[in-house]
Amino acid sequence: MAPTNNTNTGDQDTWCFVFISETLFLFFLVPSTEVVCTKEACTNRNAVFPRAFIRKFCDLREVPKDIPSEYRIIILQGNSISSLPNGVFRYLTKVKSMALGQNGITDINTESFTGLKSLVMLGLQSNYISSLPDGVFRHLMQCRVLHLERNRISSITTGSFTGLKSLEKLYLGFNLVSSLSHGVFSHLIHCKKLYLGRNRISSMSTHSFIGLRSLEELYLQTNMLTYLPIGVFSHLSSCKILNVDVNRITTITVGSFAGLLNLLELYLGYNRITSLPHGVFDDLVSIKLIELPGNQLTCLNRVIFSKLPHSPLTLWLSYPHSKVRNQWNCSLLCWLKQEEKHGTIRWNEKNGYSGHVICFSGGSWDSLQCAEQGRWGLLCDYF
């Protein structure tokens, strides 16, 4: 029996279920039989988990009717379940984690998840779900992690996430979402991680992210964005990581990053950015890393980094093996060379490569010679 003097036992138990069940159905380390799990990996205690109900890759056509009500983990991934009838889980009030990925589920409705009042994690990835009806998750008030990636979802509305007041992680990548309307995530007040990568998002409202006051990580990479509206991230004061790599962004204006007071990492690589105006990063008072490889930049003016307080600032400006590169005119970047020398700028490193400038105009960055006055640099010709 668990110790009685631990006042946080309930919360630790919940996160232990999340930890183990995420490992089970995301990494496919589950045997095809019922298993017994321990809490030792999470809390170093010896108390034993209730048993998990596992029917993985068994060619089931429907949810089994014989799932014991006392079970806490249900894994039904890799079957041929095409629908979730009303009330199919109504007796499973103690279930903490449920994996329904890699089935053939096409539709879910507002009563599909009735009864799952204790559920903290739901996996619906790799199905054929095309829409999320208003209120479809309204019974999942304790759910903290929701996987919806690799479906066919083309649109989401404010009502799609009604009731998910405890949700902390939402995965919506690899779908067909094309736009983010006003307040679409407004119910997710405790959400910390939102993954929207690899959709078809081409437009966002200045209020698309309203309500996400707890969000720390936002992933929008590999979409079809051509610009970032002024103030689009103004509601994300807690955000620490913003990734908009691999879109079609051509210009960024002053105010695009307004409100991101706690942002630490900004990823803008592999877009079509041709210039960065004065003041574009002025709102990023906590920034530590900016990545800009694979754009159409030729020069950076020192003034765009002049108000950033953190020193050294880490940059990634070029990737040596990429066919898409910025065309840096190194003769206009002597100021950056001097900042590197003085230790106020440093280069990010990945897989043994440095993200320093690769000169398009001839010569190499390491051999670039600059006088001390070059620290202030020449102004780029587009300023």
The single-letter code of the amino acid at 229 is: P
CA nearest neighbour of 237 among 216, 221, 254, 220: 216
Residues 81, 314: Cα–Cα separation, whole Å: 48
pLDDT for residue 11: 58
The single-letter code of the amino acid at 64 is: P
The single-letter code of the amino acid at 340 is: E
* Beta carbons of 250 and 227 less than 8 angstroms apart: yes
Residues 237, 279: Cα–Cα separation, whole Å: 19
The residue count of the chain comes to: 383
- CATH, domain range 228-383: 3.80.10.10
Residue 334's CB is within 10 A of a number of other CB atoms, namely 21
Phi, psi of 233 (to 5 degrees): -105, 15
* Distances from the Cα of 58 to the Cα of 37, 76, 112, 123, 124, angstroms: 22, 9, 22, 18, 17
* Beta carbons of 67 and 74 less than 8 angstroms apart: yes
DSSP class of residue 375 equals G
Show me where the domains of the chain are located. 228-383
pLDDT for residue 354: 86
In which element (H, E) is residue 20 found?
helix 9-27
pLDDT for residue 221: 98
Q: What is the pLDDT along the chain (383 residues), one digit of tens a residue?
A: 334 444 455 555 555 555 555 555 444 333 333 433 333 333 333 334 457 899 999 999 999 999 999 999 999 999 999 999 999 999 999 999 999 999 999 999 999 999 999 999 999 999 999 999 999 999 999 999 999 999 999 999 999 999 999 999 999 999 999 999 999 999 999 999 999 999 999 999 999 999 999 999 999 999 999 999 999 999 999 999 999 999 999 999 999 999 999 999 999 999 999 999 999 999 999 999 999 999 999 999 988 988 887 679 999 999 888 888 899 999 889 999 989 988 999 999 888 888 889 998 777 888 888 865 444 445 665 44
Token couple for 382: 């587009």
pLDDT for residue 363: 78
pLDDT for residue 321: 80
pLDDT for residue 232: 97
Token couple for 250: 């051509």
DSSP class of residue 25 equals H
Tokens 């620290």 locate to: 375
In which element (H, E) is residue 98 found?
strand 97-99
pLDDT for residue 364: 87
The strand ranges marked E within 190-337 are: 193-195, 203-204, 217-219, 241-243, 265-267, 289-291, 313-316
Token couple for 90: 């109504």
Residues 140, 72: Cα–Cα separation, whole Å: 15
* Beta carbons of 209 and 237 less than 8 angstroms apart: no
